[in-house]
């Protein structure tokens, strides 16, 4: 095969090219020709096709994502915003925290273990590239029906992959979600979050500046894995009759990544890099073009110097390869020796593959012959933008009219009791310890709270006890009923979860999982959800710092529920003040904060008891959420509350059951005036939490709520070894524990 | 005097910084040791911390035992220096033949992370003197290759010589023979166990208990009084 050089491309303008097979549209190919003033070389075509794919260019979503910037709330907390590898938030005392959530959905369906493992690896490198030491991970996971045979293939593989990679990196896994719904059967959602910590002065950015600076590729050798994975995996559905264009999923090596982390942190400590970028989707194509695009000059790369695992790879394949555990650094010439020395210390292969130039072009050579000559911005930042049509689907009204309030309710106390057991033992409400016990939550010795607590809390300074809290939440059922409200409910829940542990919410990262953007109904869901989230973040004062969009999560015409997953980061000045969820002391009072209305649309009860999805999701009141958060934080800081737990899916009875089981104490509850027992136990009204308060603090606490205008109701006392609802039923903790703990192992072990 | 306790970092070691912190909390000076260095920097004792050194490739601990630092540690251990191997460190000690037996894949085939109850079977080692024989403690356990295995005769000898230092209580999380969680050498200066005492030294962190602190105070007392 002859090498398709720039010179050759200029001489053979009419030579046919596989732009269509690479996922480009005709007008996109024409635009590339226009940018270059000739046909692209094979290598250039590879770069454009992968960088202009949905996954890398956000071409369908970016017109909507703009709102996160336009509606961003005023805040001093944001040090680096959207657009870098990850956003950076000021948490005080000179510390900055960077966090981001991403998806690895499609690869995880094909190869659950490696798909999930490399999802963790990718997000960890994003955090590392900002200059931070990664300190924790979280994994929101969604699967098909719990009892579907394929779930037994996908879930254990995904969990083993998340654990196998994260455990080996020494990153505590402090939270996440496990959700089952038939809508995810062919499209499991594997989202991964990483959080890292650094000092303000250690922030690093992905840019290549300073002519003469060296481009160093370091980490694993480049192999044939995941070639085209980005453009193809992320842009085609799993239609078995269509052409098979799904290449191999990437294979991860967490040991190599652990070396890369320690090596990179040592390089940062000695201030040896001028710019840095991890290699993820689109590999070298992405890293070189983004670094050059964000810098002031051009870049020249000798592609044949790249260390290979497979010597037969063509230059196009090397540019496309998504081999894991690689980073690319821009280093001043006099620092190169020390850089390479540190890499050698950690047994990490490092190679100078090029340098920053005075020009404005990204030029790539293969054994002396030029195969790429492009304006880097045109590859990295000036990809196509689609204004895809969107329209509220005609079935939305029917769905919303199908009110869950009309579903038959339990006829008597015995049925109510039975439904409580059904609910807390249902796959979505059951304990997920079978999953989370496969993750190391203790490593690094800073874990203050981990799942199943409302948020994960890690200490970031052992001298001052400064800590951060993180929660991720999403509810596809709510979002299906009303995407705008559903996105805000996800935000509100994560915000509430952070506050419930005593931390002040600061910032948001989101992972937007949706079906095909080519379906106007899906695009409407996306538009509504992003609008809801942007409005919500503005109202709560928590900016979106970055995130990820995953589209085409559908099989045939059946899209997943729109599933915006929202991560909220909070700060807690003194981790000793954190509030756990466990009811720890008999005799303490249980108070319900917020108002309970008859809201059952999208509820766990409607799903578990009636297999129903219809009506409207719970109403959102973001001002109320802010007030509730302030009360929870004040209560924690001033030592008034000993336990707190947010109320969300499953309602009050789910929260009480979890707090009782975790603490090993029962509760006696009284149905408040004005509510019936069923609504009291199962409603999913937002803006609520339960707290445990020592009797000596009751007055001080309720006075504070009263003065601030937050409704507070005394609903019972921590007592005995059963959950008792006066006048209705009592269920021994042992019985609740058996169904709550037994379900998932019963399905999967 | 302040005891100086070395903490080895192999490529892929994870709990080195946590172990250093635990040593500091217990009142000694933690000294980082690098796997390529033969020099033990005149430390009084050494901890091989947990992790996945060399990615557990080939076999957990099998590559690390050939590190330059291990040559010096074996030499010093045979001369009586206290050495503690935690999790992957225990695996390295077995591979280096400082302790008998080996670790196999957990019977459940999964990684297991839990708060694990143990019984301290003997206080007559360098690392358990601050416990009472028969005392029950809870510390984190987290591993995938934690099933302690040895031939029957070795197991009988360990029992007869009082070298079973810890046994799992309530639950045997990985199928270890005779519920063995940790053992010592004949002299009692070298101890290895799968669970993680360094993750149970602060009331706020991890399990919320400090049951692991006495590992470090035990050895510090011994070193200071020596």
Tens digit of each residue's pLDDT (9 = 90 or more) over A130-146: 999 999 999 999 999 99
Residues sharing a CB contact under 8 Å with residue A49, sequence separation 6 or more, in sequence order: A19, A22, A23, A24, A231
Residue B51 has pLDDT above 80, yes or no: yes
Query: Which residues in chain B have Cβ-Cβ distances shorter than 8 Å to A163?
Result: 110-111
**DSSP bridge partners of B30:** B5
CA-based nearest residue to A580, from A520, A517, A661, A515: A661
Residues A456-487 have pLDDT tens digits of 999 999 999 999 999 999 999 999 999 999 99
Q: Quote the CA–CA distance of B85 and B150 in Å, as a whole number.
A: 17
CATH code for the part of the protein at B4-225: 3.40.50.880
B-proximal residues of A, 556-585, CB under 8 Å = 575-576
Note the pLDDT of residue A573: 96
Q: Per-residue pLDDT averaged across A395-410, rounded? A: 97
Note the pLDDT of residue B208: 87
Q: For residue A246, name the pLDDT band (cuts at 50, 70, 90).
A: very low
Q: State the catalytic residues of B.
A: 87, 196, 198
Q: Quote the CA–CA distance of A497 and A580 in Å, as a whole number.
A: 11
Note the pLDDT of residue A745: 95
Percentage of the residues of chain A whose pLDDT score is greater than 70: 97
Residues from B in contact with A at Cβ < 8 Å: 11-12, 14-15, 17-18, 21-22, 51-52, 54-57, 110-114, 140, 142, 144, 196, 198-199, 201-202, 204-207
Q: In whole numbers, what is the pLDDT of chain B averaged over residues?
A: 96
A456: nearest CA partner in chain B: B206
Q: Is A250 annotated as a binding residue?
A: yes
Q: Are A117 and A164 in contact (CB under 8 A)?
A: yes
Secondary structure class of A717 (helix, strand, coil)? strand
Residue A647 has pLDDT above 90, yes or no: yes
Q: Quote the CA–CA distance of A514 and A479 in Å, as a whole number.
A: 11
Q: Quote the CA–CA distance of A68 and A537 in Å, as a whole number.
A: 8
Q: For residue A240, name the pLDDT band (cuts at 50, 70, 90).
A: very low
Residue A452 has pLDDT above 60, yes or no: yes
Query: Which residues in chain A have Cβ-Cβ distances shorter than 8 Å to B17?
Result: 444-445
Using CA atoms, how far residue A571 sits from A98, A198, A467, A469, A628, in Å, is 12, 14, 6, 6, 17
A442: nearest CA partner in chain B: B206
Q: Are A99 and A196 in contact (CB under 8 A)?
A: yes
Tell me: ipTM over 0.90: yes
B49: nearest CA partner in chain A: A443
Residues A61-112 have pLDDT tens digits of 999 999 999 999 988 888 887 777 788 999 999 999 999 999 999 989 989 9
Q: Are A295 and A359 in contact (CB under 8 A)?
A: no
Q: Per-residue pLDDT averaged across A194-222, rounded? A: 92
CA-based nearest residue to A189, from A238, A121, A123, A143: A143
Note the pLDDT of residue A56: 87
- A108/A235: higher pLDDT: A108
Residues A587-612 have pLDDT tens digits of 999 999 999 999 999 999 999 999 99
Residue A224 has pLDDT above 90, yes or no: no
Note the pLDDT of residue A231: 39
Note the pLDDT of residue A674: 95
CA dihedral B58, B64, B66, B72 (to 10 degrees): -160
Between strands B4-9 and B45-48, the pairing is parallel
B24: nearest CA partner in chain A: A462
Report the run of H or E that residue A124 belongs to, with start and end.
helix A112-129
| DSSP 8-class letter at B51 | B
CA-based nearest residue to A619, from A473, A428, A478: A478
For B187, half-sphere exposure in the C-beta direction (CA atoms, 13 angstrom radius) is: 11
Note the pLDDT of residue A1: 56
Report whether the peptide linkage leading into residue A653 is cis, meaning its omega lies within 30 degrees of zero: no
- A427/A201: higher pLDDT: A427
Query: Which residues in chain A have Cβ-Cβ distances shorter than 8 Å to B47?
Result: none
Angle ∠(B177,B181,B183) on CA atoms, nearest 5? 95
Q: Do A447 and B112 touch (CB under 8 A)?
A: no
Note the pLDDT of residue A86: 81
Q: Quote the CA–CA distance of B57 and B120 in Å, as a whole number.
A: 32
Q: Per-residue pLDDT averaged across B32-58, rounded? A: 96
Q: In whole numbers, what is the pLDDT of chain A averaged over residues?
A: 94
Q: Do B12 and A462 touch (CB under 8 A)?
A: no
Q: Quote the CA–CA distance of A223 and A203 in Å, as a whole number.
A: 30
Residue A183 has pLDDT above 60, yes or no: yes
Q: What is the pTM of this model?
A: 0.95
**Phi, then psi, of A107 in degrees rounded to 5:** -60, -30
Residue B166 has pLDDT above 60, yes or no: yes
CA-based nearest residue to A648, from A406, A478, A425: A478
Best mutation target, A172, A445, A450, to test chain B (most B CBs within 10 A): A445
Secondary structure class of A47 (helix, strand, coil)? helix
The residues spanned by each domain of chain B are 4-225
Residue A148 has pLDDT above 60, yes or no: yes
Q: Is A103 annotated as a binding residue?
A: yes
Q: Are B148 and B101 in contact (CB under 8 A)?
A: yes
Residue A388 has pLDDT above 80, yes or no: yes
Q: Quote the CA–CA distance of A123 and A101 in Å, as a whole number.
A: 7
Residue A353 has pLDDT above 70, yes or no: yes
Q: Do A160 and B112 touch (CB under 8 A)?
A: no
Note the pLDDT of residue A228: 57
Size of chain A, expressed as the number of residues it contains: 749
* SS3 letters across A495-558: HHHHHHCCCEEEEEEEEEECCCCCCHHHHHHHHHHHHHHHHHHHHHCCCEEEEEEECCCEECCE
Helix extents (H) in A130-245: 151-169
Helix extents (H) in B120-212: 152-160
Q: For residue A242, name the pLDDT band (cuts at 50, 70, 90).
A: very low
Percentage of the residues of chain A whose pLDDT score is greater than 90: 86
Residue A407 has pLDDT above 90, yes or no: yes
Q: Do A163 and B111 touch (CB under 8 A)?
A: yes
Note the pLDDT of residue A232: 39
Residues A66-78 have pLDDT tens digits of 999 999 998 888 8
Q: Do B11 and A259 touch (CB under 8 A)?
A: yes
Best mutation target, A133, A443, A745, to test chain B (most B CBs within 10 A): A443
How many CB pairs (< 8 A) connect A and B?
A: 88
Residue A239 has pLDDT above 50, yes or no: no
To the query of whether residue A104 is one of the catalytic residues in this protein, the response is yes
Q: Is A440 annotated as a binding residue?
A: no
Residue B42 has pLDDT above 50, yes or no: yes
As a whole number of angstroms, the longest Cα–Cα distance in chain B is 46
Q: Per-residue pLDDT averaged across A702-729, rounded? A: 98
């Amino acid at each position: 095969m002859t090498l398709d050089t720039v010179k050759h491309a200029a001489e053979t303008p009419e030579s046919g090219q596989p732009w269509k097979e690479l996922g480009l549209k005709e007008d996109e190919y024409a635009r590339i020709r226009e940018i270059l003033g000739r046909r692209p070389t094979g290598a250039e075509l590879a770069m454009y096709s992968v960088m202009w794919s949905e996954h890398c260019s956000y071409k369908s979503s970016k017109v909507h994502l703009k709102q996160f910037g336009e509606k961003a709330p005023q805040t001093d907390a944001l040090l680096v915003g959207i657009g870098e590898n990850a956003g950076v938030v000021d948490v005080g005392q000179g510390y900055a925290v960077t966090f981001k959530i991403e998806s690895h959905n499609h690869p995880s369906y094909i190869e659950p273990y490696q798909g999930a493992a490399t999802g963790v690896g990718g997000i960890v490198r994003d955090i590392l590239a900002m200059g931070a030491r990664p300190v924790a991970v979280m994994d929101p996971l969604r699967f098909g029906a719990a009892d579907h045979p394929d779930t037994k293939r996908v879930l254990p593989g995904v969990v083993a992959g998340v654990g196998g990679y994260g455990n080996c990196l020494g990153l505590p896994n402090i939270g996440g979600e496990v959700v089952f719904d038939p809508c995810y059967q062919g499209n499991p959602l594997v989202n991964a979050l990483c959080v890292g910590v650094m000092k303000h002065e250690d922030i690093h950015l992905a840019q290549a500046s300073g002519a003469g600076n060296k481009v160093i590729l370091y980490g694993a050798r480049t192999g044939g894995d995941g070639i085209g994975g980005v453009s193809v995996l992320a842009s085609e559905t799993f239609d078995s009759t269509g052409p098979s264009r799904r290449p191999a999923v990437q294979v991860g090596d967490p040991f190599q990544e652990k070396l890369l982390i320690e090596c990179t942190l040592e390089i940062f400590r000695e201030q040896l890099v001028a710019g840095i970028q991890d290699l993820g989707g689109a590999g070298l194509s992405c890293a070189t073009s983004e670094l050059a695009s964000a810098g002031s000059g051009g870049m020249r790369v000798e592609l044949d110097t790249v260390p290979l695992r497979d010597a037969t790879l063509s230059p196009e394949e090397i540019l496309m390869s998504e081999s894991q555990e690689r980073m690319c650094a821009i280093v001043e010439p006099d620092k190169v020796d020390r850089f390479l020395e540190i890499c050698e210390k950690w047994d990490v292969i490092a190679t100078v593959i090029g340098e920053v130039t005075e020009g404005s072009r990204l030029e790539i050579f293969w054994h002396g012959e030029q195969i790429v000559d492009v304006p880097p911005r045109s590859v990295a930042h000036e990809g196509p933008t689609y204004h895809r049509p969107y329209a509220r689907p005609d079935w939305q009204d029917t769905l919303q009219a199908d009110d869950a309030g009309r579903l038959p309710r339990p006829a008597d106390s015995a049925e109510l009791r039975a439904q409580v057991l059904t609910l807390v033992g249902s796959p979505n409400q059951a304990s997920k310890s079978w999953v989370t016990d496969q993750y190391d939550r203790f490593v690094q010795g800073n874990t203050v709270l981990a799942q199943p607590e409302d948020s994960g809390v890690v200490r970031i300074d052992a001298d001052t006890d400064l800590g951060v809290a993180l929660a991720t939440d999403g509810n596809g059922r709510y979002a299906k009923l009303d995407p705008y409200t559903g996105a805000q409910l996800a935000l509100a829940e994560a915000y509430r979860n952070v506050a419930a542990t005593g931390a002040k919410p600061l910032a948001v990262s989101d992972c937007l999982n949706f079906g095909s953007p080519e379906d106007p109904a899906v695009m409407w869901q996306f538009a509504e959800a992003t609008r809801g989230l942007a409005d919500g973040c503005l109202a709560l004062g928590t900016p979106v710092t970055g995130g990820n969009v995953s589209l085409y999560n559908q099989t045939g015409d059946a899209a997943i529920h729109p599933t915006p997953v929202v991560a909220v980061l909070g700060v807690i000045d003194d981790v000793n003040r954190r509030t756990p969820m466990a009811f720890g002391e008999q005799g303490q009072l249980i108070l319900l904060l917020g108002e309970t209305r008859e809201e059952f649309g999208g509820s766990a009860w409607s799903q578990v008891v009636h297999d129903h999805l219809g009506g409207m999701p719970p109403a959102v009141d973001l001002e109320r959420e802010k007030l509730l958060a302030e009360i929870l934080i004040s209560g924690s800081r001033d030592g008034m509350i000993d336990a707190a737990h947010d109320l969300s899916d499953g309602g009050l009875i789910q929260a009480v059951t979890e707090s009782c089981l975790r603490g090993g104490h029962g509760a006696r509850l009284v149905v408040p005036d004005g509510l019936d027992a069923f609504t009291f136990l199962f409603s999913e009204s937002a803006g609520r939490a339960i707290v445990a308060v020592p009797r000596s603090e009751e007055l001080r606490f309720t006075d504070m709520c009263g003065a601030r205008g937050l409704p507070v109701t005394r609903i019972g006392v921590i007592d005995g070894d059963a959950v008792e609802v006066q006048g209705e039923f009592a269920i021994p903790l042992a019985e609740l524990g058996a169904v709550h703990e037994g379900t998932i192992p019963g399905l999967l072990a | 005097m302040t005891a100086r306790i070395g903490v080895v970092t192999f490529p892929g070691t994870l709990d080195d910084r946590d172990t250093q912190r635990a040593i500091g909390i217990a009142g000694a000076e933690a000294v980082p040791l690098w796997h390529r260095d033969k020099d033990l920097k005149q430390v009084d004792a050494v901890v091989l911390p947990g992790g996945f050194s060399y990615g557990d490739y080939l076999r957990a601990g099998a590559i690390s035992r050939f590190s330059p630092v291990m040559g010096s540690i074996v030499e010093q251990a045979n001369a009586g220096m206290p050495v503690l191997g935690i999790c992957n460190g225990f695996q390295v000690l077995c591979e280096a033949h400082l302790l008998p037996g080996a670790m196999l894949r957990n019977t459940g085939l999964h990684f297991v992370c839990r708060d694990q109850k143990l019984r301290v079977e003997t206080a007559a080692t360098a690392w358990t003197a601050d416990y009472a024989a028969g005392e029950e403690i809870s510390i984190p356990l987290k591993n995938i290759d934690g099933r302690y295995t040895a031939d029957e005769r070795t197991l009988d000898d360990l029992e007869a010589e009082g070298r079973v230092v810890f046994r799992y209580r309530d639950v045997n999380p990985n199928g270890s023979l005779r519920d063995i969680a940790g053992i010592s050498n004949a002299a009692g200066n070298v101890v290895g166990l799968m669970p993680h005492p360094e993750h149970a030294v602060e009331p706020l962190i991890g399990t919320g208990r400090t049951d692991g602190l006495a590992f470090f105070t035990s050895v510090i007392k011994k070193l200071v009084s020596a």
